[in-house]
């Protein structure tokens, strides 16, 4: 008899985002189906009415239009009832002058368990996780933060833009792109995969419009 083992726990990069029906502040949604054709950033927070989480939601909302310009939606999540989410949104609007326009999932714990979001040793609180999912429903980036550290939303914006740029142009992105210390906003050509390709890489540089430090490190302006 064939022995098959079903993998449990946190999804891996390159996995399809698991299908789920969730209650949100914008009604019931089916993920990733309802986001078909769009990228989305699903981010969990430990709890409503907490200081760091409040600063994060304001920061996400202030960049919401920039995400949407990248064909990317935002979805929050915590193990709180939808009534708590709604009341917290009202508090943020009243006290901070910011209206939260993206949906927040009211999780019973099932979504957090499936995605591996429960913070070890801290009851039902979720970690500060970020799942970046592409327009085909594939998980492209995962980020995890402890409760004590708020996220950098500009970095999340940067990695979404960088991944979309890499996909479109079939290139790799240097550190801190588009402000790399060596290459500035130039991008990296994936290195050749065989000896023949390595030999020709430097020979073809001028003709193909790229520059090289060596055959394995070539870059170009896109």
Catalytic residues: 53
CA dist., res. 220 & res. 111, Å (int): 42
């Amino acid at each position: 008899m064939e022995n098959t083992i079903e993998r449990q726990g946190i999804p891996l990069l390159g996995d399809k985002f698991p299908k789920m029906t969730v209650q949100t502040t914008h009604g019931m949604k089916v993920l990733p189906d309802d986001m078909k054709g769009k990228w989305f950033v699903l981010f969990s927070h430990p709890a409503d009415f907490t200081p760091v989480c409040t600063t994060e939601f304001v920061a996400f909302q202030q960049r919401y239009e920039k995400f949407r310009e990248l064909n990317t939606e935002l979805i929050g999540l915590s193990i709180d009832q939808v009534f708590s989410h709604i009341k917290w949104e009202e508090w943020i609007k009243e006290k901070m002058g910011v209206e939260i326009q993206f949906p927040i999932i009211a999780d019973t714990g099932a979504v957090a368990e499936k995605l591996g979001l429960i913070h070890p040793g801290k009851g039902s609180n979720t970690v500060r996780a970020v799942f970046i999912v592409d327009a085909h429903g594939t998980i492209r980036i995962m980020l995890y933060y402890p409760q004590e550290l708020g996220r950098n939303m500009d970095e999340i914006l940067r990695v979404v833009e960088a991944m979309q740029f890499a996909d479109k142009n079939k290139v790799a992105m240097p550190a801190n792109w588009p402000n790399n210390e060596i290459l500035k906003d130039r991008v990296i050509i994936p290195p050749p995969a065989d000896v023949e390709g390595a030999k020709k890489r430097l020979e073809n540089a001028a003709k193909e419009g790229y520059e090289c430090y060596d055959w394995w490190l070539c870059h170009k302006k896109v």
